[in-house]
Structure formats: structure tokens, C-alpha cells
Amino acid sequence: MFRFRRQVYCDNNATTQVSKTVRKRMREVLAHCYANPSSPYKMAHQAAGILSDARERLAKAINAPPQTILFTSCATESNNTLRAIAPLLSDKRRAVLYNPLEHPAMLETLFHLREQGFSMIPLTPDRLGRIRPEEVGQSWREDVGLLVCMAANNETGTLYDIKRMAGIARAHGALFFCDMVQALGKIPVDVQDCGVDYASFSAHKIHGPKGVGALYIREGAPFAPFMLGGHQEEARRAGTEGLHNIAGFAAAADEIPHLLSMADELRLKRERFVAAIREMFPACVINSPAADECQPGTVSVTFPGTANAVVMGQLDYCGVSVAAGSACNTGEDAPSHVLTAMGLSREEARATLRISFPHALSDKDLRYVIAVFGEVLSGKGSRVTVLQPSQLTEEVLFAPDIFIIDLRRTPKSEYLLKPLPDSKQFPFFSIGKHLHEIPKNRPILVTCETGYDAPVVAYYLKRKGYTRLTFLMWGILGWKLAQPQLYARFARQHPGVEDDSTHTQPGKLS
């Protein structure tokens, strides 16, 4: 009957929740180890010890010798080191063979190199983003000095046969740079076994903190520092190390075996999601490969005829967070370069969503996500969602498009509780006469003073063909008790009067 609104984060490729052990470790380091690891006294030696311990732990997670690990500020920086590495190539080998589906952190780096005189040769992905190693061999030119291919694609989850590609690069005497950001924690990563020369990683994709990444540099691979300044990181990367972040990264790396142990189950959940979506919407198109060639929790789906920005907003309203493409491109109007390079039209790319499930997705969460997709994309909205008082946050109150109905039984002068901002007051007993004032195409939040009337009216509206319905449990009274500060800030005495002293728009609080 009723369905309680849940929050299910399905954008794990954008970032991940910082794990408890990571938070604990970071707090310890922040509280007790503030010395600069490069300084010459005891406290600094302790900090330097934490740094080298973290290096060993991350190295162990990817099977690398510790001295091959360079800590950076993020994977974007790790990829940008190519700007200093590429000029070390011989004058005769200044062509770069690359995967055009790379993350912008790599693509922009490559475009910068092109401006410096390097020639760029894109590989040709198929409709599911795959690039066969044979294609690398066939596209090879004598002047190629560098091969660039990610291990897993952030938008589709497509996996690449890095080991064979590295073998081809080695056979041609070329270097291989691999962005392994989306592989770590999702599939086993062994940099020595796959034979890459350089590999980039990011802590926040494996439940670590934001603002720290790493670069693996194979022993003997040419390297020139990108960041100039002090002699940190064996003079390979200047800048005082963010020790708390690095310690957090190492703590997250320790948990990789646990993440990998959940991968099979996650794969099955992804399959269940795909099967359910296909059954509900036979016209949808799955842009990700089958399980054996894909990250366990990622799927890219096109729902022809829809606009992903709108669908994302509707899913978000129901508590399901998904993405349209790379998080770095959110807010841009351009369709995803990944999808268009795979052969989708601009319209198809704009009708595509990326769902990247977290490892810990519960069965209940998955069922909820499937139900919400069904309702949002069928436009039926077969259920009414319940919002608990603690869930009525500023974001919900001021959500774009939201239409708030505030049911009243008494005239204005007898209101016990102030109305919500921008809400529309309707008399409970004659709501039927006001249907023409209630828009059908907007999400509707039904509220009342004490919680009795809102569910009744929400279900009445559902019968009248309204689809995106939510009601506030326990009414405005419950909300006032649960969130007195929000009530004081945002509830208004007189509907329609904007200059009430207690009413302040978010972000404009003095």
C-alpha cells in the first residue's frame, strides 16, 4: 500500500561513501599526526612512517613494489602527469594510440599533447564500448610511442583486455598508460601481471577520501615530474603530502578484498535490474556489455524518447540517484562523448542513464530502485510515496518543480501551524473543487497540519490520475517537532506573504 521513501545511491562510479574504518583512520591521523613528513624531528618521523606504511598498503593492493607508488591529489592529476612524461618519447615516436572513450581527465590531457605536436590516433570501439586487442595491433603505426587505454569505462562499465594490450605495446617498444580508476575495488588489479607502465588510481572511488590519488610508475619506466617544487615523493611530485588523505586511501585499499568478495552478488543484482528493466520497457537499449566484460555494478541504459535530465530529476525526487554520464560533465548540455563515440545519436545519448550500484546494495534497495524506475518511466506512478518528517529537508522543500499542497480544515485566521513556503492552501473538505489548480505534470507533496488528511487526499489524487505523489507523514506538526529549526526558518504565517521575517531562502541566510 504505502511505500516509504528510501534513499538509494546508484552513482557509485561518480564517488563512493567513505567507509567507517577510513573515517576512523583519518580522524586519528588528523588528530595526532600533523607534523610534516619531510621535517627532521621525531614527530615528523612518525608522519613519515605513516606515509611509508600507506604506500606499502596501497602497493600490496595492486601488487606493486612500494617505491613505484606516487601519491597525487587525485586521478586527474595522475593522468595529467602524461603531460610531463610524453615529451620524453623519442622524436620518431610521437604518436599516441588511444581509447576515445577515456575519462575527460585523460582525454583533455591527450588533447593538450596534440597541441604540443603529438599526433593522436583513436581506436574504434564497438556499440558496447569494447575495443579488441587485435584492433590495437591493426591500428599500430611505426611512430606510435604510447598506448593509452583505461581498464574499465566509467560510463558503461566496459572492461578492456589490458594485459594483452600491454603485451602489444611492449612488443612494439612503446609505453602503456592505463587509467585504472574504475577497475580498482571492482575487479582484481595486479599491475605487474598485466604489464602496464603507468596506472592511475583514485581513493574516492573505493570508499576512501576525495582529494587523493596515486600513480603507479613501473620501475625503469621514464618519468619526469609534473608538479614542480619541493622534493617530496622522492622528488617525483612536489607538495606536502596530505597525510590524513593518504592514510585514508591506504585504509580503503585494505578493504579491497572485501569489496571484491561482494562483486559476484553485485553482478547478479545488476542482472536482475537489467532483466526487470527489459521486461518493463522492451524498447530500452542496454549499452553495457554482458557480465563477463563489464564492471559488476554498472549499466548504461537508453530509454528512447526520454530526456535523461528529466528522468534523473524524477528518480532523484523518489530518492534514487543515478547519472547521465561522467560526473565531471554534469551540468553540461553536450551529450556524452563516450556514447556518441560508441555510435549513439545525440538524441539517444541524451536519453541514456548510467546506473552504478554500490557494493552494499541490499535486495530491498534493488526492489525499490526497480519499482521507482517502473513508475517514473511508465509515467504511471502506481504508488504514493511517504515522506517522513526527517526527510523533509531544504532540498525537498525547494526542489525544482515541486508543487506543495497544504490541506486545511479551518480559515486562515485559525491556522495552528504556519504553512510551508510556496505551498498552496486548499480546504480539505472541498479539494475536489480545486483540481484544476493542481498541475498534473509536477511532483506533488501533500501536507496537512497533523497528518490525518494528507494520505487521504494523496490517494484521492492518485485516483484522479495524478502520478508523482508524496505525502508528509505526521503533517506539519510532526515536521515542526522533528526539525524545529527548519520550521522556524521556512514556515510562514501568511501564505503568499514573502516578507515574513522567519522566511529565508536557502543560501541567503545571514
| Min separation Cβ 501 and ligand PLP, Å | 42
Nearer to ligand PLP, 326 or 467 (CB): 326
> What's the min distance (Å) between Cβ of 251 and ligand PLP?
17
CB of 109 or CB of 302, closer to ligand PLP: 109
How many of the chain's residues bind ligand PLP (CB under 6 A)? 14
**Judged by CB under 6 A, does residue 327 bind ligand PLP?**
yes
Which residue in the set 150, 320, 339, 384 belongs to the binding site for ligand PLP (CB under 6 A)?
150
Closest listed residue to residue 2, CA positions, set 475, 469, 369? 469
Tell me how far apart the alpha carbons of residues 436 and 413 are, in angstroms, rounded to a whole number.
25
Could you tell me where the beta strands, DSSP code E, fall in 139-187? 144-148, 175-179
Instruction: Indicate whether 145 belongs to the interface with ligand PLP (CB under 6 A).
Output: no
Contact present, 153 and 101 (Cβ < 8 Å):
yes
What's the rounded Cα separation, in Å, for the pair 417 and 433? 24
356 bridge partner residues: 11, 298
Secondary structure E strands in 212-253: 213-217
> Which segments within 54-192 are labelled E, that is strand?
69-72, 95-98, 119-122, 144-148, 175-179
Find the binder of ligand PLP among 10, 128, 181, 323 (CB under 6 A).
Answer: 181
Q: Shortest approach of ligand PLP to residue 502 CB, angstroms?
A: 40
- Phi, psi values for residue 433, rounded to 5°: -80, -10
> Closer to ligand PLP at the Cβ: 75 or 123?
75
Q: Shortest gap between Cβ of 148 and ligand PLP (angstroms)?
A: 12
Closest CA to 145 of 217, 85, 70: 85
Q: Least distance from C-beta 135 to ligand PLP, angstroms? A: 20
Cα–chain center distance at 141? 37
Q: Which is nearer to ligand PLP, 15 or 504 (CB)?
A: 15
DSSP assignments along 398-444, one per residue: T-TT-EEEEEESS-GGG-SSPPPTTEEEEEGGGGGGGGGGS-SSS-E
Helix (DSSP H) and strand (DSSP E) numbers for the chain: 20, 18
- Our finding on whether 68 is near ligand PLP (CB under 6 A) is no
Convert residues 187-226 into a mask of x (bound to ligand PLP by CB under 6 A) and - (unbound): ---------------x----------x-------------
In eight-state DSSP terms, residue 62 is T
Contact between 352 and ligand PLP by CB under 6 A: the answer reads no
C-alpha angle 503-507-510 in degrees, rounded to nearest 5: 65
Q: Which is nearer to ligand PLP, 180 or 457 (CB)?
A: 180
> Cα separation of 470 and 310, whole Å?
18
Nearer to ligand PLP, 75 or 312 (CB): 75
Q: Look up cell 536482475; give the residue.
A: 272
The least CB distance from residue 361 to ligand PLP, in Å, is: 19
Contact pattern for ligand PLP over residues 74 through 113, marking x by CB under 6 A: xxx--------------------------x-x--------
328 counts as catalytic: yes
Among 114-122, 166-174, 175-183, 428-436, the segment contacting ligand PLP (CB under 6 A): 175-183
In the complex, the smallest distance separating the C-beta of residue 201 from ligand PLP, rounded to whole angstroms, is 8
Catalytic-role residue among 149, 178, 194, 328: 328
For the annotated catalytic residues, the residue numbers are: 328
User: Given the rule CB under 6 A, which residues bind ligand PLP?
Assistant: 74-76, 103, 105, 150, 154, 179, 181-182, 202, 213, 326-327
